[in-house]
Structure 1
Amino acid sequence: SLADELAKFLMEKLGKDIASHVTVAGPGFVNITLARGAVSFAVAEADVQGSEWGKGNVGAGQKVMIEYTDPNPFKEMHIGHLMSNTIGEAIARLIENTGAEVKRANYQGDVGLHVAKAVYARTFPSNVDNGVPWGVAYKMGNDLYESGSSHKKEIDEINKKIYDRSDEKINKIYDQGIIETLKDFEKIYEKLGMKPIFVDSADKVHFNFYFYESHTWRDGLELVKQNTPKIFSESDGAIIYRGEQDGLHTRVFVTSKGLPTYETKELGLAKLKSDRWNFDISITITASEQKDYFQVVLAVLRKIMPAVASKIQHITHGMMRFSEGKMSSRKGNVITALAFLQDLLDVAKERARASLADDPDKLAMQVALAAAKYQILKQASSKDIIFDRGRALSLEGDSGPYLQYALVRARSVLERATNIQQPTHNTAPAEPARIERIMLHFPEVAARAARELAPNLLVNYLTELAGEWNSFYAQERIIGGDHEAHKLMLARAFVNTMTNGLVVLGIPTPEKM
């Protein structure tokens, strides 16, 4: 058959040094089994390339902007923002790993009712700036607003004054709140392991671009007005886009009071982004409940800024729910990012004190971050997560600490090794171990995860690799056994592969556990 002829042709072309055999595996598939020498060569590459192992250059010359996290000043960062940050940072690093130039962007709601509520609580009733944290002030202001009466009227008035900056006293409180809450966010980014943009700066910033609603609404409003009635229509004093023409739903872009909605600000943001940097791709990460609204914005952009719209990609993430304990979301509370991390940290600290680590507190944070990030990244980003703390912190099975522990174990083997003889073709066993065959796929898995914007592909690969290392470690005598030089090379290659894989995902790599 044609397939058999193709298999024979490939075998002849590749030769015995590269392929041990080529077979037909069902319709449309040919299996190539690499020869011992070819596998050994790939493992040796993983060993000697160090931190360069797994990097590619398919993205060289590409400019990619990624917008993620997007917490609102005057409110606390919650677990939805933590999910967005984890997914966004992993995708940013995966794309950087392909050789592309990546700029990180953060879009924040620095105007709006939530701001007015927080400012009002700080000034109400007469104890000007009563010093409560901004997140608490927002909750207080929200309760007062919901209670109706004069509070609602006053908060609406403050909202207007914030937009047009007409009141000196309010401007002062507002400006102070912006500075304080944004600094708090930067401290959280640092905790999460983001790298600062300017290493030497005292004020660490972790994004290349910070966009604010106060800067986007004017451009957005201008775009809407320019395209009414051509693209938008007036309805009861408001300006709307009839999405049914695109199989979507109708959205309001300007309210009957003349105020721009989120949709309009998003149009302004798209313009602002393309004005600031000439990107090839612009990726936005949001919660999945914003999917419908974003589709309408994209439909409008295709009509008014087609060149920009063609570069935009939208990724959504699901919700995080909790299986048990004090973090249970059944109580209806918004769980903050810091409370969530602290809950993991408390358990991780108990374990870290019993470890070999020089700095147990640092290890506890590394383990807590691995526990959280792994659970967020292990499935397709759009799916909801049922978070189980016990499972997330487990050293067995699919968890972040499980990957860290496999890495630390391999490092400890290398620390004990005294024989640093270089392996040769003769020191390798006749048949490659399964872990060798898995390891050589790392560069292509990392490239595919970047191409498909799917960190879960790399997470699943590293989980399989860690399992295979643990089996190898349990079954083989590495130091003092047969083929020692080859096995030590394999351990070094595993350390490089696991380290590079975790770094690309934004997961910490502890020295000892």
Structure 2
Amino acid sequence: MNFEKIISDAIQKTLVELNLNLVERFELEHPVDETHGDYACNIAMIIFPLVKGGSQIKIWQGDFKNPRQLAQVIKTNLDQNEELKTIVEKIEIAGPGFINFYLKTDILINQISLILEKKDDFGKNENPENRKIIVEYGHPNTHKLPHIGHLFSYIAGDSLARILEFNGNTILKANYQGDIGPHVAKCIYGWQQKGKPIPEKLENKVKLLQECYQLGSELYEDENHKQKIIAINKAIYDPQNDIQKDWLQTRQWSLDFYLEFEKLLGVNQKKHYLESQMWQRGLQIVKDNVGKVFEKSGDTVIFAGEKFGLHTRVFITKEGTPTYEAKDLGLFTQKMEDWPFDLTITPTASEQNEYFNVVIEAVNQLFPEYKNKWMHIGFGMVSLSTGKMSSRKGNILSAPDLIEIVFARVGQIIEKRKELNSEEKEKIRKQVGLGAIKYAFLKSSLTKNMVFDLEESISLNGNSGPYLQYTYARCQSVLSKNNNPSFTKRADAQQSEDLNQEELFILKWLYRFPEIVEKSAKEFAPNHLCTYLYDLAQRYNTFYNKHSILKAENERQKQLRLALTQATAQVIKNGLKLLGINAPNTM
């Protein structure tokens, strides 16, 4: 049952009946102070200037001195709405003209049964548009270790894909990896300088590639070495060149590593595109549109972004090779052919905002029918104690480094749990470690810069992934101790007047989950979901610490509290899954 829709429809019906239908849309919100109701609407304050007259046309014959009086008229009509009466206990006017709606407690209690019935599907929304959306994320370069920005892209992109799919869209998860370009040439040159060693383990192979890239970057500062690296970069585009063997061999090390890395993160992408597959397509698109969308500038081909309030970027270099921009054009058209979409989303670091503004505008000029179908989300920079990260000089903390540090710290804590065997400890170490990292990255707006704090991220007493996981495990522990596993799942066994404040506070939060999922999807903002889950966990833990569940005063009360516990656990589990986080039964 969609409470928000029922109330909105009732308001709209009232406005029509009173000849006050003056605005196309309005919004309901939840009052910050829950004693002011479950929903609030300021429609009276919005339309009062239109009713009163002044610079607007007066359409109401009554004499209203303020929005509050107008709100009272609207309320009087709403009080007669039969459908609204089925879910709303009372309607009140507050402040300058807010209309507050109080849901019936029995209706809130019945939501528990709905949650336990729908289980993993609770919160899933139907979307009549059912848009086909490609979420393309990760974007790691071969021949280098992934940095924290790549980790952010993996985490943010995967959560967005999960949320959008849960909200009724059809999703294709994709990745696009840079396997050609100057960074590859630098790595191969560095590898050659080292004598082309081949370590036995994959882990050591990718670490070697990072070292070779750093060596190549340093040598690039010397003009003699620079020209040799430029020659390698150009030779990679020639399938007949001898450099192909070195390139393909070292590239495979990276590709194998990234498949393992994505498996560790719990990321399952159906499409993996490579720059080497796109360069010819992108190069041809640019060449075919010189004089139309692109223009020559000396020995290069550019897109004159100034014409569109942007900046100019090169799409074909003086050596005749395509730039990242041209390859992105090839990728866009390839995705169009592979899986015709309504929207493609690319989350990357905000440092690339201007780059994508130009490339997307070039796409708009090339393919007007696909205008507004490519969205770039520029997420904020991640800071650690070492400051901003750069892979060129080698003084960085890579994504695998960060993950291992968090795993190790969680392991230190889990090691104290003598009742767990080594296999259980390892499973918890990884689940909690990844939960800590993912939640820390997602709990703030994606577009804001963030500082990753190790101890804060693993805390069991604060706004962290492990805190939510711990709350879920606590719920499971309570349920496992129930002597009657087949306890009734009908929550209406408890009379609403018997509810305590802590139980009511949980009920007033559970029903909002589908709304939060919808809001997170519409605003491409997983942080809304994080905030909701943290608040739910706090409410449950307050209830848990204050009231006995298994030793309740009577069986009816016990049944409700067990059902409330199971419903809370289910919602936390569903929410964590949308964040890409596992909900462990034991911690």
TM beyond 0.5 = yes
Is 1:238–2:300 an aligned residue pair? yes
| 1:473 aligns to 2:544 (yes or no) | yes
Q: Partner residue of 1:138?
A: 213
The structural deviation recorded for 1:512 is 0.7
* Mapped contact 2:110–2:492 kept (Cα < 8 A): no
Equivalences for 1:313-332 in 2 at 5 Å? 313-322=375-384, 324=385
Contact 1:274 1:308 (C-alpha < 8 Å) held by counterparts: no
Distance 1:3 1:148, change over 3 A: same
Amino acid at match of 1:257: E
Q: Is the 8 A contact 2:282 2:329 kept in 1?
A: yes
1:425 to 492, 512, 522: 492
Q: Map 1:118-137; keep pairs closer than 5 Å.
A: 118-124=187-193, 127-131=195-199, 133-137=208-212
CA distance in 1, matches of 2:107, 2:274: 53
Let me know the Cα RMSD of the aligned residues. Answer: 2.1
1:375 aligns with 2:440: yes
Mean alpha-carbon deviation: is it higher for 107-116 or for 459-468?
A: 107-116
Match 1:459 to one of 530, 551, 564: 530
Amino acid at match of 1:104: K
Indicate the SS of the match to 2:302: strand
Cα distance 1:176–1:494, how it changes in 2: closer, same or farther (>3 A)? same
In structure 2, how many angstroms separate the alpha carbons of the residues matched to 1:471 and 1:262? 53
- 2:463 & 2:435 partners in 1: Cα distance? 11
Could you state the TM-score of these two structures normalised by the residue count of structure 1? 0.92
TM-fit CA distance, 1:17: 4.2
Asked if 1:182 corresponds to 2:251, the answer is: no
Percent of paired sites with the same residue: 35
Residues 5, 226 of structure 1: alpha-carbon distance in 2 compared, 3 angstrom cutoff: same
After superposition, residues 297-316 of structure 1 pair within 5 angstroms as 297-316=359-378
Q: Which letter maps to 1:145?
A: Y
Match of 2:53 in 1: none
Checking the alignment, whether the CA contact within 8 Å between 2:149 and 2:349 is kept in structure 1 is yes
| 1:10-29 deviation line (CA, Å, top 9, x unaligned) | 33324554211112345674
4+ residue runs over 6 A deviation: none
- 2:173 and 2:318 map into 1 onto residues whose CA distance is 35
State the partner residue of 1:198.
none
Contact 2:456 2:464 in 1 (8 A): yes
For structure 1, the 5+ residue unaligned runs are 195-205
Residue aligning to 2:334? 272
The alignment status of 1:167 with 2:234, answered yes or no, reads no
C-alpha separation between the residues in 1 aligned to 2:470 and 2:526?
Answer: 20
Return the offset for 1:2: 3.5
| Contact 2:493 2:560 (8 Å CA) reproduced | no
Q: TM-score if structure 2 supplies the norm length?
A: 0.81
Q: Cα distance, 1:460 vs. partner?
A: 0.6
**Number of the residue aligned with 1:200:** none
Q: Note if 1:9 corresponds to 2:77.
A: yes
Aligned to 2:406: 344
Of residues 436-445 and 20-29 in structure 1, the stretch that sits farther from structure 2 once superposed is 20-29
The residue type equivalent to 1:418 in the other structure is N
Deviation string 1:169-188 (CA, Å, 9 cap, x unpaired) is x2222112222111101111
Which segments of 5 or more consecutive residues in structure 2 lack a partner in the other structure?
A: 1-68, 200-204
1:378–1:456: 8 Å Cα contact kept in structure 2? yes
Pairs within 5 Å for 1:25-424: 25-26=94-95, 29-58=98-127, 61-124=130-193, 127-131=195-199, 133-149=208-224, 151-168=225-242, 170-194=243-267, 206-322=268-384, 324=385, 333-355=395-417, 357-358=420-421, 359-419=424-484, 420-423=487-490
The aligned amino acid for 2:569 is V
Aligned equivalent of 2:36: none
Quickly say closer, same or farther: Cα 1:110–1:426, change in 2 above 3 A: closer
Q: Which residue of 2 aligns with 1:434?
A: 505
Q: Which amino acid aligns with 2:402?
A: F
Aligned mates of 2:116, 2:236 — CA distance in 1: 58
Q: For 1:53 and 1:283, how far apart are their aligned partners in 2?
A: 26
Distance 1:172 1:231 in 2: 37
Q: Which has the higher contact order (CA 8 A, sep 6+)?
A: 1
Decide whether the 8 Å contact of 2:113 with 2:490 is kept in 1.
Answer: no
Q: Is the 8 A contact 1:17 1:37 kept in 2?
A: no
Deviation sequence 1:83-131 (CA, Å, 0-9, x none): 0000000000001112322111111111111111222223236x34454
For structure 1, which segment, 223-232 or 456-465, has the greater mean C-alpha deviation from structure 2 after superposition?
223-232
Tell me by how many angstroms 1:458 deviates: 0.3
Once residues 478 and 161 of structure 2 are traced to their aligned partners in structure 1, the CA distance between those partners, rounded to angstroms, is 33
Measured in 2, the distance between the counterparts of 1:99 and 1:307 equals: 24
The AA in structure 1 aligned to 2:579 is L
Partner of 2:66: none
* Aligned twin of 1:202: none
CA deviation after TM superposition for structure 1 residue 236, in Å: 2.3
CA distance in 2 between counterparts of 1:25 and 1:250 reads 55
